[in-house]
Structure 1
Amino acid sequence: VPDHGRSPVPDHSRSPTPHGHHVILTERRRTTPSRRPDDAITALTPDQAFDALYAFCAPALVRQTYLLTGRRELARESVERAFQIAWQRWPEVARDRDPAGWVRALAYECALSPWHRLRPRHRHPEPPPPDAFDRALMDTLLTLPPSYRRTLVLYDGVGLGLPETAAETEASTRAAVNRLAHAREAVAERLPELADPETLHWRLVELASTERLRAAKPPAVRRDGERRARFWTRAAIAFTVALIGATALTVRTAPTHYEPPVPAGETVRGVPPPVAPGPLSESEQKLRAKLRKQEQKGPDRLLPQPW
């Protein structure tokens, strides 16, 4: 978690006083990074520019996302996924005013996604930090709502100002102030030693630094991003072809005119049931024998003749 030269200056007009503990919101002096000359930017290839951004931001982002999630593997996956998307949209990211902030916001979104709870391996907790105080701080952070946790990490961990924190969390400055105040109050209630914002900042830095969190190499991230992009492109093409084929088959086999449905059968009443013929009587048998013996009169019967 980088530090940007923190010098606490109380601002009582913008900071509410939470109940239970005296919490002061402080503004921090932010050092503006020196911009690279245009010729230095144009001299870098896209691969080199991406690798430089990754080498500069990825280690700190992994530590920050670990504070958000409490999971080492999820923190690494979230940062790598954010950089993979950044590589797919590199022209847009390269022209952005703050590429590091662009990737950081996306990494936070990936880390705090509610879909992770459906993954089987994320249903079991990871080993907690070895230090007892670090475990208590991590448990306290994980009990905070995701928006409060993100605001606290950005302001007290990363060292952003309130306007930048509000913009990155997509909230108003007043909402960011309220979230920060309630988050500090919750931390101070469980850990009174961290009621001072400066102490809280350094404890967050130490908690993120004690874990051995490593990010993958930039070429591997770029290759994974390109492989994922090819996979989804082929999947989209296959889905489109299947949809076109299903549509063509439907048009081919669909009826061209309306066919009314066959009405259901109705029971006809008043018709006597058919009676099966019984055995012939003696007189009927004699008549049948007589008819068979007599010659046929009139035209001959038409009998089928074999070819």
Structure 2
Amino acid sequence: MTSNDRITPAELAHAGDAITRITEAFAEKVVGQERLRESLLVGLITGGHVLLESVPGLAKTTAAETLAQSIDGTFRRIQCTPDLLPSDIIGTQIYDAQHGEFRTQLGPVHANLVLLDEINRSSAKTQSAMLEAMQERQTTIGGEQHKLPNPFLVIATQNPIEQEGTYVLAEAQLDRFMLKDVLDYPTPAEEAQVLRRIDEGRFAAPSKPVASLDDVLGVQRMVRRVYLDPAITEYIVSLTYVTRHVDDYLPPELARLVEVGASPRAAIHFAAGARAIALLHGRDHVIPEDVRALGHRILRHRMLLGFEAAATGVKPEQLVDAVFAAVRTP
């Protein structure tokens, strides 16, 4: 990157203003959940997709809808069920008897923000219908390709406590998600704040747009210009390398729990996500802490653990922490 490509202070201030406005609008409807807000913003400004795991009632739908409203984007919620068909998501061709021809009816995936609620309740065939949309940013209906709007963000949720009637997400599908965030319950103070806001009627009215889609696209272009030092690049590559060679770097009792390491997409998402974190904090350059902040969210669904890990109660986050401990921080 040449000096002419570096972000100017004026550009940084402009991006920071848009991010602040979106953050404030988000906080009006979603109490707490700071990491969730950060994950959604990282996904939005990098073009990545986000998988959320939590018990019901932790404001996942509210968060997604509020984010869409704050940027004046289109929002669609798809409730996944075992009988959901691929055409219910991407769209289909309908015969128009009046004109004697087929016409294309686009599905709900053709929106700026798409919430796939309980994605693991849909069949593998339906889940695979999202692969083209998430990766290629298009759908194919009747042999014709239809581009998805820009920006485009998929937010999928899954419930970890109800496994009856669910279909485990395939590794290829999981790898398409830039981040996997695991949400926790609010604190007592945050839960009390939710009740007060309900009494005040603050959740009833839709959020007003505080930024435009052009603002988001401008930040997306800017995030690619955030400076990533070669030492940080080497740090990222070393982290993903260790996940694939755990026997050489992790203690034996942990190394034997890992079946498959992270794919190259992990390194790609680390670089893009670290740039986004830097921009969210008002910086035009990445520091190692930006990479570490994304460690769990990028690696927890890419380091595949064997049965012994589940049997002994070892969490993916423990393996991720061990990977980071094995790599020298620049």
Please confirm whether the aligned pair reaches a TM-score higher than 0.5, indicating the same fold: no
| TM category, shorter | under 0.3
More helix by share: 1
More strand by share: 2
Question: TM-score, normalization: structure 2?
Answer: 0.23
Larger radius of gyration: 1
Q: TM-score, normalised by structure 1?
A: 0.24
